[in-house]
Amino acid sequence: MTNTRLALVFLTGIILSYYSVTDWHPADAGLLTKWSQYINPENVHNAYPRPQFERSRWKNLNGTWQFDFAANLENPPIAKDLSRRILIPFPIESNLSGVMESQPCMWYRQTFKLPADWQQSRILLHFDRIIGTATVYLNGVQHFTFDNCETRLTAEITKYLKAGENELLIGVKADRCTFSGTIIDAFAGHGIVQTVWLEPVPDTYLRSVDYTTSVKDSSVSIEIETSAAAPASFVEAAIFDADTLVAVMLGRAGEPMNLKLSGLKLWSPENPQLYSVNLKLIGNGAVIDSANSYIGIKDYRILLANTSNPQPYLNGEKFFQIGIVHHGFWPDGKITAPSDQAIRTDIENIKKMGFNLIINNGCMPSDRWMYWCDKTGVLVWQNMPQNYANFSAAEHERVKNCLAEYRSHASFASLIVSNLPRQKTGMQFAPTSIRYCLKKRQWNELKVQYIQPESLIFELEGDHYKYSSLGAVDGVGKIITSVRDTYPVDLFPAQKISSAAIEFNTKEYHRKLALARRQAQKETISTLIYPQFTDLPGSNFGLQTDDRRQLKVDLKKMRKINKSLDNSMNGL
């Protein structure tokens, strides 16, 4: 038995004995990240899920739920204990769920009691994301069905509740939910995959807020929606720069409130300025409802300047983008990060390396993920789950919904609706075109240049390199395609990366970056992209290992390299 396998056996014993005091434990102790050890089933993903509309009172329903697969959803197991346990909010295929299996139909069951001071309130039930069609039963009665619900969901459940213990039963049917035994399994994720929570609200409450900004006019427009008409009340938005009150806006719910701000501070990767916003619904001289929010003000455009290729502009100035693809893969959580701190550290490491753009190629991101991009200062291009070529009515609707969900985030720049096939020019560093969308029903094409890695190594032995990678990959989404049918999932962690290998990898990145830069300058391209932030199963040219335990490059040198590139490309 190898030392690696012996270590895993020992680690398995420690982890399973640690979690034996609960109803849950990871399904496989060999598939963990550095963050797995901090998971507490009684307090998992405990940050408020929607930071741009945050209330002070809420009840997190994440944690250990009862669970079972089923042949179909025709006979709901009402008031019956289910035989298995699952940790919410992790997908059924993941190690951290405790299930690590895949079937199309499943039941989730949880019971809860409301806090005593919620008894006079209306109660909202929130799902941040469910992948599949979900049917919700409360206290034995079917109340809601959500079809293909991959976006945020909210339902008022007040009239269905009872005193004491309440039973929440959720049936989910997921399409194409099977294990293939190949690498594509690593990116599978179905069922409840983000936070579930409750919160109390008054009879008429704040429902949502929408921000529209104009850098040219130094103006902000805020529109606050309420759950019902409230003719005798008004809404208020107080804007703060740190602890300093900047402005107060008053108006009617459902109507834009417009204001010009003097001394406006703009959001950018170099200065991710965020204003705090306190929202209130006021009636008869009293605060009826309130929520905390924030806003970052920027102007991001892609314009055809005096070049053959459109150029990105940020806050009125040409903006060179050095990006990296984040596939949203976690060995333990699949498409769901182990914790909020894990999300934050990923994004901060990307920023520390000198990248100013993330191409998110994973599941549609949570508001917590976007919040850390807002706060850290990294722009986001969100890749749609599949290429949209014909733009059917359904595709138009999904693009519209995604733009509406993310446009209020300062970091959000664009949707990538399709990646166009690269022309076969015979050039190793030929550019790739993407089709992007900044506004609904408005999409255009943009050339980008990929930095093409050949290898990132784990150790050096004389003149013989131990390669741990695939060949060059030149497009978003190509990594999965190129390895799907050839590589099994590797259950064992990578070897320790030597300091000599880190030095070599950093120099190799610098060399490849210089080659990509030359081609970009020839083509007047202002966006360079490295295709992989972390290792993926079967594809190990990430800048960090997939378990997040080791960086494969020198963080400080990477920042210096990328920043020097930024300066040299500003003349495009």
> From the DSSP assignment, how many helices (H) and strands (E) are in the chain?
7, 31
Residue spans in the chain of domains classed CATH 2.60.120.260: 3-201
Q: What pLDDT was estimated at residue 419?
A: 67
3-state helix, strand, coil in the chain (%, to 5): 20, 35, 45
Q: Confirm or reject CATH 2.60.40.10 for domain 209-295, answering yes or no.
A: yes
SS (HEC) of 325-348: EECCCECCCECCCCCHHHHHHHHH
- Condensed to tens digits (0 to 9), the pLDDT of residues 333-359 reads 999 999 999 999 999 999 999 999 999
In this predicted structure, what is the pLDDT of residue 122? Answer: 97
Burial class (CB in 10 A: 0-12, 13-18, 19+), 395: middle
Query: Which tops the pLDDT comparison, 82 or 385?
Result: 82
How deeply is 496 buried, as exposed, middle or buried, from its count of CB atoms within 10 A (0-12, 13-18, 19+)? exposed
**Closest-CA residue to 384 (of 411, 408, 358, 361):** 361
Q: Please state which CATH number belongs to domain 3-201.
A: 2.60.120.260
Give me the phi and psi of 253, to 5 degrees please.
Answer: -60, 140
State the number of CA atoms in the 13 A half-sphere of 319 facing the CB: 24
pTM of the predicted model over 0.75: yes
Written as one letter, the residue type at 240 is F
Mean pLDDT of 441-458: 76
State how beta strands 196-201 and 122-127 pair: antiparallel
pLDDT of 147-157, one tens digit each? Answer: 766 678 899 99
Structure tokens belonging to residue 340: 């909020």
The proportion of the chain whose per-residue pLDDT surpasses 70, expressed as a percent, equals 80
Interatomic CA distance for residues 570 and 560, integer angstroms? 16
Q: Which strands sit side by side in the sheet containing 166-173, from one edge to the other?
A: 84-88, 63-70, 105-112, 166-173, 133-138, 141-146
pLDDT exceeds 80 at position 509: yes
Q: Which amino acid is at 457?
A: I
Euclidean distance between CA atoms 351 and 360, whole angstroms: 14
CATH topology of domain 300-569: TIM Barrel (3.20.20)
Contact 315, 298 (CB under 8 A): yes
Please, which pLDDT band fits residue 482 given cuts at 50, 70 and 90?
A: very low
Q: pLDDT tens across 209-254, in order? A: 999 999 999 999 999 999 998 888 999 999 999 999 999 999 999 9
pLDDT averaged over the chain? 84
Quote the pLDDT of residue 368. 97
User: pLDDT at position 538, please?
Assistant: 79
Q: How far is CA 311 from CA 79, 323, 418, 448, in A?
A: 59, 15, 18, 10
Q: How confident is the model at residue 470, as a pLDDT?
A: 23
Measured distance CA(124)–CA(291) in Å, rounded: 15
> Mapping DSSP to helix (H, G, I), strand (E, B) and coil, where does residue 366 land?
coil
Nearest to 335 by CA among 199, 191, 221, 497: 191
Residues of the chain with CATH 2.60.40.10: 209-295
pLDDT at residue 442, rounded to an integer: 67
Predicted local distance difference test score (pLDDT) of residue 475: 33
Q: What are the start and end residues of each CATH 3.20.20 domain in the chain?
A: 300-569
The pLDDT of residue 400 is: 78
Q: What is the mean pLDDT of residues 360-381?
A: 94
Task: Give the DSSP per-residue string, 74-110.
Answer: SS--TT---SEEEEETS-TTSTTTT-----SEEEEEE
Strand, coil or helix: 474: coil
Interval 254-283 mean pLDDT: 95
Say which residue, 144 or 22, is predicted with more confidence: 144
pLDDT at 358: 97
